[in-house]
Structure 1
Amino acid sequence: MSYQKRFLLLAVLDSVLVLAAAVISYIQFHPLLRSVPDKELLLNSLILLISYYIFANSFLLYNKSWEYASVMELKSIFKAVTLTIIATAAFQLFTSLNFYPRMLLSVWMMTMFFVGGSRFSWRLYLDHCLKPKQDMKKVLIIGAGQAGTLVARQLLNNPELRLVPAAFIDDDPGKLKLHILGIPVAGATADIVETVEKYQINNIVIAIPSLKKFEMNKIFLECSKTKVKTQVMPKIEDVMLGKVAVNQFREVGVEDLLGREPVELDIESISEYISCKTVLVTGAGGSIGSEICRQICKFSPKKIVLLGHGENSIYQIDMELRNKYGQTVEIVPAIGDIQDRDRMMEVMAEHHPDVVYHAAAHKHVPLMEYNPREAVKNNVLGTKNVAEAAHQHKVGTFVLISSDKAVNPTNVMGATKRIAEMVIQHFNQQSGTKFVAVRFGNVLGSRGSVIPLFKKQIKAGGPVTVTHPEMTRYFMTIPEASRLVIQAGSLAKGGEVFVLDMGEPVKIVDLAKNLIELSGFSLDEITIKYSGIRPGEKMFEELLNENEVNDVPIYPKILVGKSSPSNYEMISNLIQNFYSFNERDLKDYVLNLVNKKEKKLSAISK
């Protein structure tokens, strides 16, 4: 219906309702009214009608979408009707007309009832008569606060979603047994399983934006007992910015199950060493490198150089950053391979960065077991090239992205990352540049990580493949990993190995089970298959070896390992004779180089 037709229809309806209220009230207080209309009635009705139109337009009663009517619309009706009666009373007082306060009160009550009733009757009609009832899935909303109410209202107003809110769950005892928007608050978190069974729930939506991670984890574990699909309301800030709609629920991520709060940044110290500086990121198109670039741009560097050998990934992060920060930050894409020493020297000479984040690396353990030469070429020779270029061009701080697999490594990838740490520790002793390393656990959602694989396998109907039932890993999110790298640069004194305190390691099989159950499946529907430990894999990972442990954390949630001396002669021998090794001998050499050194240090410490 067009606005003009809608306006005309409502205006005619209101005219009938307001006049009806006036006539009924007049008859009530003038029982001897004759069949011929009284002049006083006609004049009062005219003033009442004119006043109503003025205030109805002032409070936009003809511009509202009444199918979504709420308390705000009721307030508008109240204000319009009340001011209409006050205007009519004023007219009676300052003219020769008689003043009838009781009659005016009656008119106010009837007009409120008629006008308000007509509007909300339309909403009730739409809610209960026109909305389809078949094939609707019942939703349990966890959280009966403002966010939960917002979700319920959206579901009620969008029948095409085929989701109907059936009950709330809330731990506030003051809300228990109340009805919000006609929906009962059925119980607390401990009652989730019972409520799902009682109301025959098909979906669960968690709508508590302020929830702490450990509390969220507790709720997830309760939800997983129900075998009902569980989703999470999008972030309020994303809704406010228009990125997503309230009813665009996201799937439960494993990051929600870590049970710890994310690491925060020391904004002041970071701003001091990044703002108005030139920053270079190698591997800028990768999962970690691209997130480091996003985080850095928030601190207004003078220039950021995006270095990578894959033109498509560099193009994507370049365009993303230009769209968001192009007006305030100079963004320079640089195509180059860290294995090309001359190219690294060219880039450093051209841009003279103050800070370098070295994120370029080969990281896949099984692949590097089959390709040890490429692992050494990229992770060791490439790191040496970038570090040497940084040293020669007097870079202030150099941060190497390493791995927890560098601790007591049993695979080529871990060994090459440990040698890369030894390389930069050697340069730290020779250079005015501060060289430091940062070790990660498994990064959730990064390319090649296990979680996207699990989700893909669940979507395909299973089975979900896990290497071993006892295998454990430390986990962190991509933003956390990037924050740790940036924070490490601000804390660097030279030679340190920074590690994020990631809480307790998590069993891979437990993550798989939680993802299956929170996706709405049982372990009978989606099975877990054990594929066996892959070449080079360890049953568990460590963050620091016994020689590196420092009792005092340098920053909340960030540990720092003691700098250890490195036998650079062995590394020089590896670099000089690299091309004379066959792949089998090369693999044995890098593992022996690292493990002999670690065993020697352990013996010295004892």
Structure 2
Amino acid sequence: MIRATKSRRTAFFLTCDIVLFSLSIYFAFLLRFSGEIPDIFVDGMIYSGIVLVSLKIFLMWLFRLYKVPWRFFGLNEARKIFSVTTVSALLFFALFSFYEDFFNPFPRSVIIIDAIISALMVGSLRILKRVFLDFKKDKGGEPCVIIGSTSKTLQVLKGLKSGYADYYVSGIVDGRKDVVGTYCDGYLVGDKSELKHYITDGVKTAIIALKLAPNELKELYDELDEIGFKDIKIFSLLDGKKEGIADISIEDLLARKPKDLDSKVVENFIGGKVVMVTGAGGTIGSEICKQCLKFGCKSLIMVEHSEYNLYQINEATKSDPRNHLVMLNITHTKEFDDIFAKFRPEIVIHAAAYKHVPLCEFNPISAVQNNIFGTKNVIDLSKKYGVKRVVLISTDKAVRPTNIMGTTKRVCELYSLNSNETGKTEIVAVRFGNVLGSSGSVIPKFKAQIAANEPLSVTHPDITRYFMLVSEACQLVLQAASIAEGGELFVLNMGEPVKIADLAARMLKLSGKEELGIKFVGLRPGEKLYEELLIDENDVATKFESIFVTKSGSYDLDLLKSQIANLAGTSDEKSIEEKLKLIVPEFNHALNKE
């Protein structure tokens, strides 16, 4: 079917071009002789016509102009048509110079006149349907208003005219005074204050064609929503997404976009190094792997317990030849030792951990084994094999913990930072909050509930959390590690906390399913109502405004080792809690079982 359509298009244009090129010769002679061609020039007209038409058709084919659909005809194709007529005129003139007797009598000026006429006629044919389509699209679909007069606006207009979305543009507005009153592709740009008039006229769709920071986008979205726009879209290319008109996502509104992301610093830290990432298939670990490859690591040892997750990260990185896939539980000391001995990593980024608060509450022994003993193995083996730098991925839940997971991560911080050997194996930890879209987090859960037409489950009306894009959080982790000297506990500035109930309400509004509502189900075991502030006045700023160094506190390492060993022989959950509290006195278990 597609091939038949292409053949019909080629046959149509070929036929039309033969007719138009023939007419252009005739019109060129008419113009040359003021409307009446002398009989003596008729033979020359016919002979030159045959040659010129043949040359032009051949060149049109050579320039692949018969493969261009009507809707894609643009300036580049117009230039090609001009080239065809120019080259054919030059070739004919060369031919005429050698075979002048064959064409004579023949006025040479006809060559130039014919080139101009044929270019205009053939170009006009191809642009004719574009003009018709543009006019037609202006009259069909739903009305919309475009916010912003930018290069993106021109792409939006082009897309709408080509039929990529069923809208027609009622107007363009902009908040910049220097732009208001100018024309954008034939539309007079109005002031943003005119938006309410579009609502009065029945326009319900707004398309944002501006480059905005997330907080600016959120403000504009709220403004448009308050004015009365029901369908708010954005034209952009973000994080590899396909360019085009799309619904605004919750990630677009929550992303922080730190201004101090420095790729060069990370490249200098990672480039040419042998890097090991534990938990390589998890949300954080997989992004760390991608960035290590991006920033030029020499080889990447991906350590992952889950077969499926290991397969997924290898696929996501296109089976990069630098990948070394290790399917291993990091609590298996002997096997893990063999991996260190084989690959001799220079940098170890420890992202493997059980992080789901309720699951760790229900399985405290597993949480202790995986988080604490696994981290101890990473640290001990890194020191044994002379790893230059170890980076522990920690969490805001380790701050005055109220659950098993947060407490185990605090123990991991204590063991790691007090095991630091400056100048030998330098060990640092980086704390941050939730990353957008991570497995087990609230946003994917809400998306699944919306897709199933279920009310959104929120634990408490006042519960809040910090959020950051996973790609940005991971680059900041690597930046923090690059400036470390060993023993530091870095904290990422996550901005302002987000109220989960407000997040749920906004996601319902974005999806157009506000009728589903929100269901409050009560705090889960071990869950905090508020996460602790990540940054306080005692933290020390680094050269990056999004990265701080906080106090961790010293701990007798020999005592800690004996306490961890004591945990290993405990199979009673109550005893586990008591022994964790000996190590982390600030642990205040919030059972939330009522």
- TM-score bucket of the superposed structures, by smaller chain: 0.7 to 0.9
SS, match of residue 370 in structure 2: helix
Task: Indicate whether 1:154 and 2:146 are aligned.
Answer: no
> Is residue 2:33 matched to residue 1:38?
no
How far is 1:10 from its partner?
2.1
Match in the other structure for 1:13: 19
CA distance in 1, matches of 2:413, 2:575: 22
Q: Does 1:533 align with 2:523?
A: yes
- Please give the alpha-carbon distance, in whole angstroms, between the structure 2 residues aligned to 1:453 and 1:167: 38
Matched residues in 2 for 1:266 and 1:321: separation? 22
Which one of 506, 510, 513 corresponds to residue 502 of structure 2? 510
% identical equivalent positions? 34
| Distance apart, 1:215 and its partner CA | 3.2
2:312 to 316, 322, 346: 316
Task: Tell whether 2:392 aligns with 1:387.
Answer: no
1:427 correspondence with 2:419: yes
1:121 maps onto 2:128 in alignment: yes
Query: Hey, what does 1:255 align to over in structure 2?
Result: 251
**Paired position in structure 1 for 2:218:** 217
Are residues 42 and 228 of structure 1, via their aligned partners in 2, closer, same or farther at CA, if it must alter by over 3 Å?
farther
| 2:554 alignment partner in structure 1 | 565
Mapped partners of 1:45, 1:14: distance in 2:
15
Match of 1:535, SS state, is coil
CA distance, structure 1, for counterparts of residue 157 and residue 280 of structure 2: 42
**Aligned-partner Cα distance in 2 for 1:580–1:83:** 88
Secondary structure (helix, strand or coil) at the match of 1:437 reads strand
Q: Is residue 229–residue 519 contact of structure 1 (8 Å, CA) maintained in 2?
A: no
Residue 175 to residue 462, structure 1, CA distance change in 2 (3 Å)? farther
User: C-alpha distance in 1, partners of 2:359/2:554?
Assistant: 30
**Per-residue deviation at 1:255?**
3.2
* Alignment of 1:550 onto 2:539: yes
Secondary structure of 1:580 counterpart: coil
Letter in 1 for 2:201: K
Which shows bigger deviation, 366-375 or 117-126? Answer: 117-126
Residue 72 of structure 1, CA deviation = 4.0
> Unmatched 5+ residue regions in structure 2?
1-5, 589-594
- Secondary structure of the residue aligned to 1:200 is coil
| Residues 277-299 of structure 1, C-alpha deviations (whole Å, 9 max, x = no match) | 22111111101001101101123
SS at match of 2:201: helix
Question: CA offsets, 1:141-189, max 9 Å, x none?
Answer: 4444333322332332236x5454554444455654666556x355455
CA RMSD, Structure 1 to Structure 2 (Å): 3.9
Q: Which of 209, 227, 233 lines up with 2:235 in the alignment?
A: 233
Structure 1 window deviating more from structure 2 (280-289 vs 103-112): it is: 103-112
For residue 496 of structure 1, report the CA deviation from its aligned partner.
0.7
Residues in 2 aligned to 1:237 and 1:42: alpha-carbon distance in whole angstroms = 65
What code does the residue aligned with 2:69 have? S
Counterpart residue type for residue 584 of structure 1: K
Query: Does 2:190 correspond to 1:200?
Result: no
Question: How far has the Cα of 1:120 moved from its partner?
Answer: 2.7
Aligned-pair CA distance for 1:87:
9.6
User: Alpha-carbon deviation of 1:591?
Assistant: 4.1
* Deviation of 1:74 (Å): 4.3
2:585 & 2:273 partners in 1: Cα distance? Answer: 39
Q: In 2, distance between residues paired with 1:75 and 1:550?
A: 62
- Is structure 2 residue 282 aligned with structure 1 residue 286? yes
Structure-1 separation of matches of 2:560 and 2:379 = 18
How far does the alpha carbon of each residue in 1:222-262 deviate from its partner, in whole angstroms, 9 at most, with x for none?
A: 34434534344352895xxxxx7544x45433332236423
Which amino acid letter does the alignment assign opposite residue 69 of structure 1? F
Pick one of 565, 573, 578 that aligns with 1:583. Answer: 573
Per the TM alignment, residue 577 of structure 1 is displaced from its structure 2 partner at its CA by 4.3
1:337 equivalent in structure 2: 329
Shift of 1:368: 1.7
Q: Which whole-Å CA distance do the structure 1 matches of 2:182 and 2:57 have between them?
A: 34
Secondary structure of 1:428's counterpart equals: coil
CA distance in 2: counterparts of 1:350 and 1:191, whole angstroms: 68
Deviation at 1:46, TM superposition (A): 5.8
Aligned residue in 1 for 2:72 = 68
8 A contact 2:417–2:489 mirrored in 1: no
Contact 1:439 1:543 in 2 (8 A): no
- 1:145 is matched with which residue? 150
- Mapping for residues 46-195 of structure 1, pairs under 5 Å: 47=48, 50-51=51-52, 54=55, 58=59, 60=63, 62=66, 64-77=68-81, 114-125=121-132, 136-158=141-163, 161-173=165-177, 176=180, 180=184, 184=187, 187-189=190-192, 191-192=194-195, 194-195=197-198
Secondary structure class of the residue paired with 1:304: strand
**Counterpart residue number, 2:339:** 347
What SS does the corresponding residue of 2:394 show, helix, strand or coil? strand
Distance 1:257 1:340 in 2: 42
**Residues of 2 paired with 1:215 and 1:363: CA distance?**
32
Q: How far, CA to CA, are the matches of 1:10 and 1:173 in structure 2?
A: 48
- For residue 366 of structure 1, report the CA deviation from its aligned partner: 2.0
Provide closer, same or farther for how the CA distance between residues 21 and 529 of structure 1 changes in structure 2, counting only shifts above 3 A: farther
| Alignment CA distance shift 1:237-1:529 (3 Å) | closer
SS of corresponding position for 2:548: strand
The one-letter code of the counterpart of 2:198 is T
Aligned length: 572
Among 295, 299, 306, the alignment partner of 2:295 is 299
Question: Alpha-carbon deviation of 1:313?
Answer: 0.8
Deviation at 1:479, TM superposition (A): 0.7
CA separation in 2, counterparts of 1:24 and 1:174?
51
Classify 1:83/1:352 alpha carbon distance in 2 versus 1 (closer, same or farther; 3 Å): closer
Compute the displacement of 1:467 (Å).
2.5
Q: Deviations over 1:297-317 (max 9, x none)?
A: 123222211111111111221
| Compared CA separation, residues 143 and 77, structure 1 to 2 (3 A) | farther
For 1:495 and 1:120, locate their aligned partners in 2 and report how far apart those are by CA, in whole Å.
Answer: 68
Q: Distance in 2 between matches of 1:237 and 1:426?
A: 38
Deviation at 1:341, TM superposition (A): 2.4
Give the aligned residue type for 1:200.
Answer: V
1:474 has 2:466 as partner? yes
Unaligned stretches of 5+ residues in structure 1: 239-243, 599-606
Moved more, 454-463 or 495-504: 454-463
Kept after mapping to 1: 8 A contact 2:458/2:519: yes
- TM-score (norm: length of structure 2): 0.83
Q: 2: distance between equivalents of 1:352 and 1:105?
A: 74
d(CA) in 2 for partners of 1:578 and 1:98?
104
Deviates more, 1:483-492 or 1:568-577: 568-577
The residue type paired with residue 497 of structure 1 is: L
Q: CA deviation at 1:542?
A: 2.5
Aligned counterpart, 2:3: none
Letter in 2 for 1:381: F
CA distance in 2, matches of 1:509, 1:175: 39
The offset of 1:18, in angstroms, is 1.5
The offset of 1:273, in angstroms, is 3.7
- Report the Cα distance in structure 2 between the residues aligned to 1:139 and 1:527, rounded to whole angstroms: 28
Instruction: Tell me how far 1:365 sits from its aligned partner.
Output: 1.4
- Retained in 2: the 8 A contact 1:550–1:559? yes
